[in-house]
Structure formats: C-alpha cells, structure tokens
Amino acid sequence: MDSIRSSLEHFMDNSAWKQRYAKLKQEVLAYPRVQEFLQEYPEWTNEDTKTHMMKLFEFKRERENCDACPGLADCPNMMQGYQPQLKMEKGQPLVTYHPCRLKQQADERKKQQSLIKSLYIPKEILEATFDDIEQDHASRLSASNQCLQFALQAAPGEDAKGLYLHGKFGVGKTYMMGAVANELAERSISSMMVYVPDFFREMKQALSDGSVQEKIDKVKAVDVLILDDIGAETTSAWVRDDVLGVILQYRLMEKLPTLYTSNYDYEELETHLAYSQKGGIEQMKAKRIMERIKHLTTPIFIDGKNRREM
C-alpha cells in the first residue's frame, strides 16, 4: 500500500493527473453508498479521504458492478459472484467481500445437485421440477400430488414407505421421480436414481472384476433410492435374489424408502420376476421379492398421452 500511495503522490505532481484525481475523488465521494458510509463517521476528515482513496475507489468500482449486475456468469468483479462491503475496523476503512444473492443461489443449487446421484439417468430428468409437470390428466394430477407429498414428508431412517409408479410408456413416470429427487434435495435428503436395466447389466459385468459388493453397497445405503423402469431388464435368478433382494432387504432393515417406476403393475412385475433365463419359473422367489415391494410402497397408476410421441 505504501508503494501505491507514493506512486499516487508522485503522479499528483503532474497537473493532468491532478485533474484526473480530482475528478476521481469527486465521483467516489458522490457515490451514494460511499456517502452513506461517511455519514456514519462524522469524524472522517479530508486527510482520511486522501489516505484511503484507493479503498473507497475499490469499493465504488466493485459495488457499481453489482448495482448494474449482468448476471453471475458475466460478473466483472475481481472475485466473481462476490459483493463488496465497506466497513470500519480499528479506525481503518476495510473492504470485505461476501457471496452475492446469485452466487448463494448458484452454490445452493450445486449443493443440491451433489445430493442427487444417478446411474444412467438423462440430465433433463435430474433437472425436473413439479412446476414443469403438465397437469393434463386426472391421474397425473393425483400422482404428482402424491409424489410431492412424499418428497415433503419423507423421513429416511424412520419410515421406509415409498412409491410405486406404474403405467404405459411415456406418461412421465421418470420425470416425476426427477422432480421428487430435486424436492428432496431442497430438504438436504440425498437420493439416487438408477435405470434398472443398465444397472443390472453392469452388475453382471462386475462379476468379472470382483466389484459386485462395492456396487451394491453404493446403491443400497442412499437415503432415498429410485429404481427406474424395473421390469424392463432381462431377469436372472442371481440378479433377482443376490442383487435386488439384498438391496431391498438392507433398505427394509434400515427403514430407507425405495421408489419405483414400471410399465407393470404389482401382479405383472411378479410374473416378470418369476421367470429367469436359466431357472425357469420360480414363483415363490418372485413372490418373496414382491412382498417386500408391496409392503413398503403405495401403488400409483399414471395414465395419459405418450409424451415421447409428441
């Protein structure tokens, strides 16, 4: 700061610089936010102004950028997204910086997004909100209300009750689950959305590298698990009993909610799970899985237009 001040005094010997400095001083002192600051300290003198002009100028320049905010992405401040504050500390003016409203909102969104994990789920689904859900069918209105109610009341670790959304292709089941995940993030509840066919395919591949348990552990303990499109996978006895069964048993014991989307209702999914490529029909094992699902979910049927064809 001494070198800056000495340089300032040196240049003030130049008449042109004196004029520029005088204009700068006038603009700084005329800035309403600087005036508000000086009015708080009536003991402030012209010598103080001269001594601390660089601090006052820094505050004015940065704060004017905020006054004419171009948005967070185009913020021209030295510290993007940070707003200056001028205060007195131990008799000296001090410019401090704190995150502006837009920066705080962006940080909060980033924090929320970090709470939503996904496996094979499109980005647009992870950005879904209840405000964007079209209420063009009675069943969609009812389903979105039940999903919102779940998101607002879910209590992982205390209540394992989840939802089972079923209906034909393209009616918005997955999108609605994305909205649930975002609403949960608002409450700092973590979730994971898993596209079941791809996940089960990866689990089979994991047999070769010994990472099966690691992948199961990653999925089974999340606060809220969303299994998307269950029933669309190719069934095997191992996937049903040693992957899905293990995950659901853990979540049952820990009282962690699981949500599902499917083209099948309960009975149709049980028939699907009973069939395995090599084991034939195993009705009892499928029924055991379905008892866990039915006991811990509320079935919700969604009807309406196929949005994939629109």
Q: Which domains, and CATH codes, for the chain?
A: 2-99 (no CATH), 106-309 (3.40.50.300)
Cα–Cα distance for residue pair 310/306, rounded to 1 Å: 7
Closest CA to 96 of 75, 79, 73, 74: 79
Residue 106: predicted pLDDT = 81
Residue 275: predicted pLDDT = 84
DSSP alpha helix (H) spans, 134-244: 138-153, 173-186, 196-209, 212-220, 237-238
Q: Residues 80-100, buried b or exposed e (16+ Cβ, 10 A)? A: ebbbbebeeeeeebebeeeeb
Closest CA to 161 of 256, 266, 291, 226: 256
At 302, give phi and psi (nearest 5°).
-120, 130
Residue 279: predicted pLDDT = 60
CA distances from 193 to 15, 105, 189, 261 (A): 69, 24, 13, 11
CA distances from 309 to 144, 170, 178 (A): 21, 8, 20
Residue 145: predicted pLDDT = 95
Residues 6+ positions from 28 with CB-CB distance below 8 Å: 34, 53, 56, 57, 60
Residues (pLDDT < 70) of the chain are: 1-15, 112-116, 277-279, 307-310
Residue 12: predicted pLDDT = 52
Average pLDDT over all residues of the chain: 87
Residue 272: predicted pLDDT = 93
Q: Count the alpha carbons within 13 Å of 249 in the hemisphere toward its beta carbon.
A: 10
pLDDT digits (tens, 9 = 90+) for 273-297: 998 766 678 889 999 999 999 999 9
Q: Are strands 297-301 and 275-276 parallel, antiparallel or unpaired?
A: unpaired
Q: What is the pTM of this model?
A: 0.68
Alpha-carbon torsion angle 152, 157, 159, 162, nearest 10: 70
At 149, give phi and psi (nearest 5°).
-60, -40
